Structure 1
Amino acid sequence: MSLPHLSDEQIATWTREQKDRWWLENVFRGNMAQLTLRSAFTGFLLGGILAATNLYIGAKTGISVGVGLTSVILAFSLYRGLARAGLATDFTILENNCTQSIATAAGYMTAPLISALAAYMLVTGTIPPAWHLIVWLVVVALIGVLLAFPLKRRFINEEQMPFPEGRACGVVLDALYHGKGDEGVYKARLLGLTAGATALYQMGVSDGWMRLIQFKVLQLHRWAGLDEPWHLHERLDTYYYDLAARLQWATPRILGTDIRQLGLRLTLDAAMLGVGGLMGIRVASSVMLGAFVNFFVLAPLMIQRGDIVARIAADGTTTAISRTEIVNQWALWWGVTMMIVGSLVGLLGKPDLFKSLFRRKRRPVAPAVPMCSPTSRCRSGCRTSACPSASPRAPGCRTPISACRGCSRWLRSR
């Protein structure tokens, strides 16, 4: 089932009232459960879990990933399983949509923690109290919600812009609920298998998990004589350097600098594999090219020239050259400059986007089409559930929408 949408000509020529009427006729489902207690609770639960993962990835890489698609599939698989077990009814498509909206809001709420607040703590060297962070995040979230109303009215109601993540969630929801019955179950199983394999690998490279399993559970330090727990190396080149130390092999260098000082390590991180898959080849190739130019070419040259040197700390200790020092002494400046200038020039190259924010388009007023109000009954007596068509004499619809003051006011407010 394809998602209903307006054509480009309709978007350009129709008034907002016409678009709202089309939405009521073709999209609105007033008799389907939407914002329920279980959809809200599920959204809060999934949002909290996915926000923690988003915070981890953001703190590690500075990248914020969307959680909408993940929450859609998780909520679908959860309630489909409960429905098959006879413990709950299946989620409706609108309940799932509410769940992913709540989960997405919670996931993106961690963005200030990996940007502005992280920079503040890095510069000042102090960590604010937890309640300060909570209040600040709540205030920022409320401001964002208030700003969302005019933006939604302009870009979604009027311009009908298909936001990439929201549209992707809509396509997945449509495929899960209106596609083949086994398709959603297959995707849920694939998600579960991927999650299990990822969890096993991350446990294998985690010193904490291996210490818990080998020392606390299996007691290997008593009967096997282990001093340190065995675990996989997340940095795969560690195996080479261990072998090179025993066989006295040379370590790779670029212009006399050990590549380990440049931060060039072959690391297998499951979370970063997922980020690369979501990022796509177009963005990932640009990121890879920037890393190559900086750490393979420019950083070794700057170290050889003496522009990047070991730093003397305030206590007199020497801070050796590392990836952090390369970023702080050199890469930070050209990298941030390219990000800001490139973004601004790209935005300024689309002046119509800014003009549309402040320009009120004049469009021909369409003739009034009788329809029912989305409310159960307005003051003029217009019902919603029993009006199957847009005819002025449709059964159950007493008042045309053009003559219904409550309906017209609702349409203008959208």
Structure 2
Amino acid sequence: MAILQLTPEQVRTWTLEQKDRWWLENVWRGDMPQLTWRSALTGMFLGGLLSLTNLYVGAKTGWTLGVGITSVILAFALFKVLARTGLTGEFTILENNCMQSIATAAGYMTAPLISSLAAYMMVTGGIIPMPVTIAWMVAVSVLGVLFAFPLKRRFINDEQHPFPEGRAAGIVMDALHSSGAQEGLFKARVLVSAAGLSALAKLMQSQPIMERLRLAWLTIPEYLDEWAYRLWGTIQIRGVDLRELTVRPDTDFVMMAAGGLMGIRVGVSLLVGAIVNYLVLVPWAIQAGIIQGVPGPDGLLHYGFRTITAWALWGGVAMMTTASLLAFFSKPQLLVQAFRGIFRSRAATSDVLAHIELPMWVFVVGIPVVGFAVVWLGHAFFGVKWWLGALAIPLVFIFTLIAVHSTALTSITPTGAMGKLTQLTFGLLDPGNIKSNLMTAGITAEVAGNASNLLMDIKPGYMLGAKPRQQAIGHVLGILAGAIVSVPIFYAVFLRGGPEQLVQEQYPMPAATIWKAVAEALTQGLDQLPVSARWAALVGAVLGIVLEGVRIATHGRFWLSPVGLGLATVIPFNTCLAMFLGSFVFWCAERLLKKPDTPAHRLLVQNQEPICGGVIAGGALMGIAVILIENFVLPSR
């Protein structure tokens, strides 16, 4: 059935209490089974399995994949088969939602293994004992859970941010579990068709698989500009090849679908930020000698995304920082209301969701206790000074605000950029201590990442009428499953030859390499940071305040989002372009197809979410399958 939601006008004008009452009366599903034994065990199993794929993807690209939609479809298919054989009853929509929270937590918590922890072992030349790694990752991830829920009331209940990947998961679950009604069947067919086409396209993008199938002539190119280079030769701006700047169209349909969910305003902001960054600022910085290229085998200087973003991220991160802080403190009543509930009984408070939301005392008690455990682990095993570890905990709150704001709009959590900003902070506070630099930044970046991803999981629960406190418990179960499965596999596969063998040609560990490089640069002194980067950070900070102030003054009607603009400095141009194209296609469909009774309007306007959710689901599923086939099946033949 169609998911009930507030109109944009209601979101802007209603109070938080009005929105909560509306949700309780119209969306909440009461005591429908949610966190059950089968949803918990299924989520832990699928999450543990999918966390291994994130290890391999992260080792190759430095990124981790969201596994929520993947787990939703797998669990739905599994229990449909079991129900038809009479082995079990139907899997409820809220069980599926809780299951995806568990699986997603397991998938995302692997990030430190391919970033901060790997960089630490590369720097020190020693292997961290496996029990220490497990304890560290669990403590940091649980701290992320505790920081997330105080922010839920603002980002989800009040401002109703999209959290595109979470929204897609909610739409997928609604379409799958509502197939009994005619409209639900149509949405399910649309979703399945979109997923099938997306999966086929993702399969056809794999040249090794298509060659093995003897269908190489049907391979879909990853990029769409090779014909232009064959026709005209090198295409440059200020003497730099556009491919070096990541300025090229690609066939990333999953990112296009994400753009369709995030909307035209964020899509335009990403494109504007990408144009300014990659076509204006970066070419200027290269020509001025600020960004240094790396000599290649052909004798030419090469740049690429990672070299560029090491300079460009400073302005973008500063913009996101000031904009996120201004947006948060522009509504101080939400923070006051949240903490006021600590000192009053549940009966005395006017919070209509007090029996559903996670109690505030959990955060008041949990954050100091788990925070102390993190600080103790950092001091005992990584040599982090007590006062630096203690300072990292309040900094987590600031960086969580930034990360959540980004995730809320685009589904992209800038964990790497947040880590670099924290590395700069601790480079000032404790110069020369590279181990402290890595691990304190690891605390803030990874906690912020886990908090953001938890809110991404809570979004579909809010859409479908679930109890958030049960999702919080599920998130902790997923963290345990991910740690138990992924850490031993990481040690067995990547640490067989010792830390010096972590970086290999097949698995370059790009995220860990960047963490290591930034830590080495900052601990040698801030003179390693170009003066231009410092000016970029200052300008970005001012722009963030100005643009966010305009957005607040116009009640969200201002087109440009400072978070979207800042994000364009830490993700490639081709990804920004893909997301803009997706948002633009559906914006055009909404403007041009105005007759509700036409098939085109029904498909592209009324079912925009199932189309985008299906494309993301099919592409994610097949993307994981392609990675597994290319890495484990084809090379063994």
TM-score over 0.5 for the alignment? yes
* Alignment correspondent of 2:358: none
* Alignment correspondent of 2:425: none
Structure 2 counterpart of 1:308, from 273, 276, 291: 291
Deviation digits for residues 168-202 of structure 1 (CA, Å, limit 9, x no counterpart):
86677566656743555555554444444334333
In 2, are the aligned partners of 1:57 and 1:271 still within 8 Å (CA)? Answer: no
Task: Give the 3 Å change call, closer, same or farther, for CA 61–11 of structure 1 in structure 2.
Answer: farther
Structure 2 counterpart of 1:239, from 201, 209, 227: 227
Alignment of 1:6-405 (within 5 A): 11=17, 27-29=29-31, 33-48=33-48, 51=51, 68=68, 71-72=71-72, 74-84=74-84, 86=86, 88-112=88-112, 116-117=116-117, 120=119, 124=123, 131=130, 133-145=133-145, 151=150, 155=153, 177=177, 180-184=180-184, 186-214=186-214, 231-241=219-229, 243-244=230-231, 249-310=232-293, 320-324=301-305, 327-328=308-309, 330-360=311-341
Q: Give ranges in structure 1 of 5+ residues lacking alignment.
A: 219-227, 368-372, 374-414
Report the Cα distance in structure 1 between the residues aligned to 2:264 and 2:54, rounded to whole angstroms.
Answer: 21
**Aligned-pair Cα RMSD in Å:** 5.1
Report the Cα distance in structure 2 between the residues aligned to 1:164 and 1:81, rounded to whole angstroms.
Answer: 32
Deviation digits for residues 218-268 of structure 1 (CA, Å, limit 9, x no counterpart):
9xxxxxxxxx99954312212332x32xxxx35322233322232222221
Report the Cα distance in structure 2 between the residues aligned to 1:89 and 1:198, rounded to whole angstroms.
Answer: 31
In 2, are the aligned partners of 1:207 and 1:229 still within 8 Å (CA)? Answer: no
**Identical pairs, percent:** 44
TM-score, normalised with respect to structure 2? 0.42
> Deviation of residue 296 (structure 1)?
1.0
Greater helix content: 2
> Deviation of residue 346 (structure 1)?
2.5
Report the Cα distance in structure 2 between the residues aligned to 1:85 and 1:111, rounded to whole angstroms.
Answer: 39
Task: Give the 3 Å change call, closer, same or farther, for CA 283–48 of structure 1 in structure 2.
Answer: farther
Task: Give the 3 Å change call, closer, same or farther, for CA 264–28 of structure 1 in structure 2.
Answer: closer
Q: Which amino acid aligns with 1:208?
A: P
Aligned residues: 335
* Alignment correspondent of 2:495: none
Task: Give the 3 Å change call, closer, same or farther, for CA 200–306 of structure 1 in structure 2.
Answer: same
Report the Cα distance in structure 1 between the residues aligned to 2:331 and 2:15, rounded to whole angstroms.
Answer: 21
Report the Cα distance in structure 2 between the residues aligned to 1:309 and 1:171, rounded to whole angstroms.
Answer: 45
Q: Which has the higher contact order (CA 8 A, sep 6+)?
A: 2
* Alignment correspondent of 1:409: none
SS at structure 2 position matched to 1:35? coil
Deviation digits for residues 328-361 of structure 1 (CA, Å, limit 9, x no counterpart):
5631222222222222232233333333343348
Q: Which amino acid aligns with 2:203?
A: M
Report the Cα distance in structure 1 between the residues aligned to 2:127 and 2:259, rounded to whole angstroms.
Answer: 33
> Deviation of residue 279 (structure 1)?
3.5
Report the Cα distance in structure 2 between the residues aligned to 1:257 and 1:347, rounded to whole angstroms.
Answer: 40
Task: Give the 3 Å change call, closer, same or farther, for CA 205–181 of structure 1 in structure 2.
Answer: same
Task: Give the 3 Å change call, closer, same or farther, for CA 164–329 of structure 1 in structure 2.
Answer: closer
Report the Cα distance in structure 2 between the residues aligned to 1:300 and 1:9, rounded to whole angstroms.
Answer: 47
Task: Give the 3 Å change call, closer, same or farther, for CA 194–365 of structure 1 in structure 2.
Answer: closer
> Deviation of residue 102 (structure 1)?
1.9
Report the Cα distance in structure 1 between the residues aligned to 2:33 and 2:329, rounded to whole angstroms.
Answer: 43
Deviation digits for residues 298-355 of structure 1 (CA, Å, limit 9, x no counterpart):
2222333333343589xxx988241346525631222222222222232233333333
Q: Which amino acid aligns with 1:11?
A: E
In 1, are the aligned partners of 2:178 and 2:185 still within 8 Å (CA)? Answer: no
TM-score, normalised with respect to structure 1? 0.60
Report the Cα distance in structure 2 between the residues aligned to 1:257 and 1:83, rounded to whole angstroms.
Answer: 59
Q: Which amino acid aligns with 1:327?
A: I
In 2, are the aligned partners of 1:299 and 1:326 still within 8 Å (CA)? Answer: no
Task: Tell me whether 347-356 or 295-304 shows the greater mean CA deviation.
Answer: 347-356
**Greater CA radius of gyration, 1 or 2?**
1
Task: Give the 3 Å change call, closer, same or farther, for CA 192–344 of structure 1 in structure 2.
Answer: same
> Deviation of residue 54 (structure 1)?
6.6
In 2, are the aligned partners of 1:79 and 1:90 still within 8 Å (CA)? Answer: yes
> Deviation of residue 212 (structure 1)?
4.1
Q: Give ranges in structure 2 of 5+ residues lacking alignment.
A: 350-354, 356-637
Task: Give the 3 Å change call, closer, same or farther, for CA 70–164 of structure 1 in structure 2.
Answer: farther
